[in-house]
Amino acid sequence: MLADQAPAPADLLADPRVRAQVGPLLAQCDALRLDPFDGVFHLASAVSGECEADFELGLRSNLDTTRALLDALRSRVEAGAAPTRLVFSSSVAVYGPDASVPMPDRVADDTLPAPQTSYGTHKLICEHLIADYTRKGYVDGRSARLMTVTVRPGRPNGAASSFFSGIIREPLAGMESVLPVSRDVSHPVSSPSLTVRGLMAVYEASREDFGGRLALNLPALNVTVQQMLDALQAVAGPWVRGLVREVRDERIAGIVANWPRGATAARAARLGLLPEHRFEDIIRQYIEDQAANPAALQGLKP
């Protein structure tokens, strides 16, 4: 069952194993009480830039919706069902600088979360909610802290981190992209495919294998923006690299300045999850994934 605000792609809907519901998740949670599913991947969220611009949207989309989903799953247990396994997509944005406990250069599973954005705060609150519902036996929950996913296909979204994909995706399509932060910005990233593998591994892990607290970091490749641009030039050439234009945006730069410069993922490694080695490999993976979509690779034409 796919629940989203946008219709599912036609190729997915053609699969007889797939059903879809369209609309805000908050309005769909009651119906989920009766669906015979075994597990839930909770990926829905208003993203960082949206939450900063619209406080009420963030509260409604992130906190109210997650509480409603958890209560729907709780009602199943109270009716006699076994707890549903739930994977929540948290974020590296739960970390931030704190005057009393400085943020390390690379945040780890045991680094004190101190979010400095509404989005990161919502993610951390939801982590604790899921842990408490799990403690009560209402769900079998676990939270995976996603790194910034790049190169993400499709169009830009309202996330402050959107440029981490945009400075690669748009130039490969032959379009100009704006870089709103300094090239010395360092950040932990992960490819879409590794992120998906991470979510699946967290879902499939036994409670014993998962171990410890219910939130862990997914693997990260720690790179600077300069290294990303160098990788783009190495893979696609100087003309494509030249389509990235530097125009500083103080709002975006201010948000990103409070994010981790790097991350480690020791607990994920024990589940067999390791980061990519080079950003060039992530770019090539994106090119391979988009081979059937010529418009996405327009910039590679001679």
Q: Which of 119, 133, 138, 286 is catalytic?
A: 119
Closest CA to 156 of 81, 47, 53: 47
Please give the structure tokens belonging to residue 267. 């607990």
Closest CA to 40 of 84, 8, 72, 93: 84
Q: Is 95 a catalytic residue?
A: no
Q: Classify residue 133 by burial, with Cβ atoms within 10 Å: 0-12, 13-18, 19+.
A: buried
Q: Give yes or no for a cis peptide into 225 (omega within 30° of 0).
A: no
- Write down the number of H helices and E strands in the chain: 14, 11
Closest CA to 135 of 217, 199, 214: 214
Give yes or no for a contact between 48 and 93, defined as CB atoms under 8 angstroms apart.
yes
How far apart, in whole angstroms, are the C-alpha atoms of residue 126 and residue 42? 11
Under the phi-then-psi rule, with left for phi > 0, alpha for psi from -120 to 50, and beta for the rest, what region is 278?
A: beta
What is the number of other CB atoms lying within 10 angstroms of the CB of residue 101?
Answer: 10
- Please tell me what DSSP assigns to residue 52: H
Give yes or no for a contact between 40 and 47, defined as CB atoms under 8 angstroms apart.
no
Please give the structure tokens belonging to residue 135. 């403690």
Give yes or no for a contact between 198 and 144, defined as CB atoms under 8 angstroms apart.
yes
Q: Classify residue 25 by burial, with Cβ atoms within 10 Å: 0-12, 13-18, 19+.
A: buried
Closest CA to 32 of 2, 64, 55: 2
* Residues forming the active site: 119
